[in-house]
Amino acid sequence: MNERICPLNKGQIFVFYNHFILCGKGSRKKIKKRSKEGKKMTKNKIAALLLTGLLGMFAVGCGTEETSENATSQADTTQDMPTIGIIQLVEHPSLNTIYEGIIASLAEEGFVDGQTVTIDYQNAQNDPTNQQTICQKFVENDYDLIVAIATPAAQSAAGRTKDIPIVFSAVTDPIEAGLVADLNNPGGNVTGTSDAVSASAIMDLAREIQPDLKTIGALYNTGETNSMSVIRDLKAYAEENGIEVIEATVTNSSEVQQAVTSLMGRVDAVFSPIDNTVATAMPLVAKTAIDSGTPVYVGADSMVQDGGLATCGVNYTMLGDETGKIAARILNGENPADIPVVTMNDFAVYLNEDTAEALGIEIPQTVMDRATILTSQE
């Protein structure tokens, strides 16, 4: 700063600061350029801001009359950052992993909570009323973006707004859930990531481990669309392969224990899809099944970690990462209508060694060779 041109005083510093603050403002339609593009632009932007600041100083001269207005703007800084409402359906290891992945990837893209973005994180504890209340609040607050983890949370959010962009995470079947009509062309305010798995691949794995498998128990919540579509695939597979399906359905987590107990002694194995209700009660399911010597095949690695025997599933850290990237693209100005839903193509076999041992099952070498081995968490 050249003192001969214009010496700085306190008032000028406020004016200069005010230009920074004003440039940070943005409505939903205008949130842009904070991520990769933003990083590229940063130098130019700073130069422009410096210039604007200097011009501001000259325009105002050496007066201090704007001090109080500038003080207000200063206090408003956090309100000027884009706001994201994140709703997580319920507390279970997989959804927690996804949430952490989203936060990490948003930060990598330049959106750090409390610094460049404000994140309002809410957990609905698997309660439909909570889901409605949380989404209602997000909409009333006119947040810039909603991120919804798991199908029921995403359905709740999508039912509340056709305006605020929604990024869903880990929705097994986004079409069946009514969130998008076309995975490649979402067309509305909703897009995101899917953790679609193949019931056939999981059943092929089950039969590799248990070649004599003839009856399978299907344990799931009839209210979760994410489970319904996988169960449909399971039934088609069973029919083609001469396997009998015995259903044990629930509507909430307090019914899970009884449902799994009802299957014991009647089936060679149990199958549970990527069901949030069963996942919250998974340690109990695993214990009941192990006690009666019945393997449980599941839809997600966390359910293996919680005592299920095996799955062929997706990597949820990667899925959270992809979700965060989509969220960042929207914060950078892209339209959700044009962002295709991301599905995970990398399937891996996960096997719980402790469970195999407790069941006294010899796992074929062909499975061991390709499995990621997990052990039960205490």
Question: Does the footprint of ligand TRP cover residue 302 (CB under 6 A)?
Answer: yes
195 binds ligand TRP (CB under 6 A): yes
Specify the residue, 280 or 332, whose C-beta has the smaller distance to ligand TRP: 280
Size of the site for ligand TRP (CB under 6 A): 17
| C-alpha 294 chain-centroid distance | 32
Backbone phi, psi, residue 100, to 5°: -60, -40
Span interacting with ligand TRP, options 101-109, 119-127, 300-308, 337-345, rule CB under 6 A:
300-308
Q: Pick from 81, 102, 148, 171: which binds ligand TRP (CB under 6 A)?
A: 171
Only segment of 8-16, 79-87, 273-281, 326-334 that touches ligand TRP (CB under 6 A)? 273-281
In the list 18, 88, 94, 118, the residue contacting ligand TRP (rule: CB under 6 A) is 94
Residues 6+ apart with CB under 8 A from 356: 309, 363
Distance CA 216, CA 117 (A): 48
Residue 243 or 303 having the CB closest to ligand TRP: 303
Q: Which of 88, 116, 226, 311 binds ligand TRP (CB under 6 A)?
A: 226
Q: Does 279 bind ligand TRP (CB under 6 A)?
A: yes
Q: Which of 109, 151, 153, 63 is nearest to 334 (CA)?
A: 109
At which residue do the structure tokens 């599905």 appear?
343
Site for ligand TRP contains 306 (CB under 6 A): no
- Return d(Cα 201, Cα 44) in angstroms, integer: 52
- Name the nearest CA neighbour of 127 among 257, 280, 282, 303: 280
Task: Find the part of the chain contacting ligand TRP (CB under 6 A) among 32-40, 67-75, 198-206, 297-305.
Answer: 297-305
Q: Closest approach of Cβ 180 to ligand TRP, in Å?
A: 13
Among 275, 306, 321, 322, binds ligand TRP (CB under 6 A): 275
Starting at the edge strand that comes first in sequence, how are the strands of the sheet with 342-343 ordered? Answer: 118-123, 83-88, 145-149, 166-169, 190-194, 342-343
Rule CB under 6 A: say whether 83 interacts with ligand TRP.
no
Quick one: 164 or 274, whose CB is closer to ligand TRP?
A: 274
- In the complex, the smallest distance separating the C-beta of residue 140 from ligand TRP, rounded to whole angstroms, is 25
Query: Cβ(275)–Cβ(90) under 8 Å?
Result: no
Contact call for residue 150 and ligand TRP (CB under 6 A): yes
Find where tokens 């209508």 sit: 337
Q: Which is nearer to ligand TRP, 87 or 331 (CB)?
A: 87
**DSSP summary character for residue 56:** H
- C-alpha of 166 from chain center: 11
Closest approach of Cβ 179 to ligand TRP, in Å? 10
* Nearest Cα residue to 323 out of 194, 180, 185: 194
The answer to whether 64 touches 9, Cβ cutoff 8 Å, is: yes
Residue 276 in contact with ligand TRP, rule: CB under 6 A: yes
Which of 33, 72, 36 lies closest to 49 in space, CA to CA? Answer: 33
Task: Output the smallest distance, CB 156 to ligand TRP, in A.
Answer: 12
Nearer to ligand TRP, 35 or 151 (CB): 151
Residue 323 binds ligand TRP, judged by CB under 6 A: no
